């Protein structure tokens, strides 16, 4: 009779031997196992997404570096004046930058040897973009803490972006190729490279190329 009781005991063997170490009944162990499986899938998906993001970031940096090296070589060869002390012709260098203007998802900026901005691909306004504006909202004059308004947040974000870009340019003016990532004013991931424009040993300026399409590419990959 003892043998019959042991055989009929549902907790003696539930068909999931690997779950026997978990506490509780067979149903409880099964629920725990399913939750653990779901958690493992979420973690695995996050790891895959992070790997994809990092791979895209690295590929974008390589692409921008290749483009930047070509543009800086052209500027050095065509827009360098003065001997024996060379200097960059800012006006002509800016024209070259605009002629080699990159796609809409990229931005090119040119700085002189003092780190001052002298050309920006966003300054070209031949093509005007339009979009539907959101409905206007009434200003709440009684709302305290004006610096908490969206405009104040955007201003703070713009200052942070400008500070990060300035630090990148300073590093490039020391003769180094700089690659970095940061968030734009609107929160998009930006991949950036800064390349010194160098004539022999003289640093004439810095070219910065940025791309902001990594998040969009990842979103398309997830939707596919």
Residue pair 22/33 in contact (Cβ under 8 Å)? The answer is yes
Please give the pLDDT value at position 130: 47
104 band by pLDDT with thresholds 50, 70 and 90:
confident
pLDDT bin (cut points 50, 70, 90) of residue 10 is very low
Instruction: Give the Cα separation of 118 and 43 in Å (integer).
Output: 46
Selected residue with higher pLDDT from 185 and 5: 185
* Ramachandran assignment for 82, one of left (phi > 0), alpha (psi -120 to 50 degrees), beta (any other): left
Instruction: Report pLDDT for 222.
Output: 65
**Three-state secondary structure of the chain:** CHHHHHHHCCCCCCCCHHHCCCCCCHHHHHHHHHHHHHHHHHHHHHHHHHHHHHHHHHHHHHHHHHHHHHHHHHHHHHCEECCCCCEECHHHHHHHHHHCCCCCCEEEEEEECCCCEEEEHHHCCCCCCCCCCCCCCCCCCCCCCHHHCHHHHHHHHHHHHHHHHHHHHHHHHCCCCEEEEEECCCCCEEEEEEEEEEECCEEEEEEEEEECCHHHHHHHHHHC
Assess if CATH 3.30.1330.40 describes domain 41-121+157-223: no
Model confidence at 23, in pLDDT bands (50, 70, 90)?
low
User: What is the per-residue pLDDT for 224?
Assistant: 61
When pLDDT is cut at 50, 70 and 90, the band that residue 167 belongs to is very high
Q: Answer for the pair 109, 120: CB distance below 8 angstroms, yes or no.
A: yes
Give pLDDT, residue 11: 47
Please give the residue that has the higher pLDDT: either 55 or 33.
55
- Report the pLDDT averaged over residues 166-188: 90
Q: Which pLDDT does position 198 carry in this prediction?
A: 92
Phi and psi (nearest 5°) for 201? -105, -10
What per-residue confidence (pLDDT) applies to 77? 92
For 112-139, how does the pLDDT look when each residue is reduced to its tens digit (9 = 90+)?
999 999 999 988 544 444 455 555 555 5
pLDDT exceeds cutoff 50 at 143: no
Q: Is the pLDDT of residue 8 over 50?
A: no
> What integer is the mean pLDDT of 156-181?
89
What is the radius of gyration, based on Cα positions, of the chain?
29
pLDDT tens for each residue of 34-90 = 777 777 777 766 666 677 778 888 888 999 999 999 999 999 999 999 888 899 999
């Amino acid at each position: 009779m003892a043998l019959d009781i042991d055989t009929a005991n549902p907790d003696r063997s539930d068909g999931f031997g690997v779950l026997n170490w978990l506490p509780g009944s067979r149903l409880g162990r099964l629920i725990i196992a399913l939750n653990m499986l779901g958690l493992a899938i979420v973690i695995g998906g996050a790891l895959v997404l992070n790997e994809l993001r990092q791979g895209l970031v690295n590929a974008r940096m390589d692409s921008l570096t290749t483009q930047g090296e070509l543009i800086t070589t052209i500027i050095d060869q065509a827009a360098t004046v003065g001997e024996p002390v060379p200097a960059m012709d800012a006006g002509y260098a800016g024209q070259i930058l605009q002629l080699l203007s990159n796609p809409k998802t990229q931005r090119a900026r040119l700085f002189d040897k003092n780190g001052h901005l002298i050309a920006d691909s966003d300054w070209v306004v031949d093509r005007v973009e339009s979009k539907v504006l959101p409905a206007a909202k009434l200003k709440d004059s009684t709302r305290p803490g004006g610096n908490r308004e969206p405009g104040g947040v955007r201003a703070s974000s713009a200052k942070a972006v400008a500070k990060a870009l300035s630090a990148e340019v300073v590093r490039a003016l020391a003769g180094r190729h700089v690659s970095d990532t940061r968030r734009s004013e609107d929160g998009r991931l930006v991949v950036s490279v800064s390349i010194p424009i160098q004539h022999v040993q003289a640093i004439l300026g810095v070219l910065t190329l940025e791309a902001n399409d990594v998040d969009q590419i990842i979103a398309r990959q997830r939707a596919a």
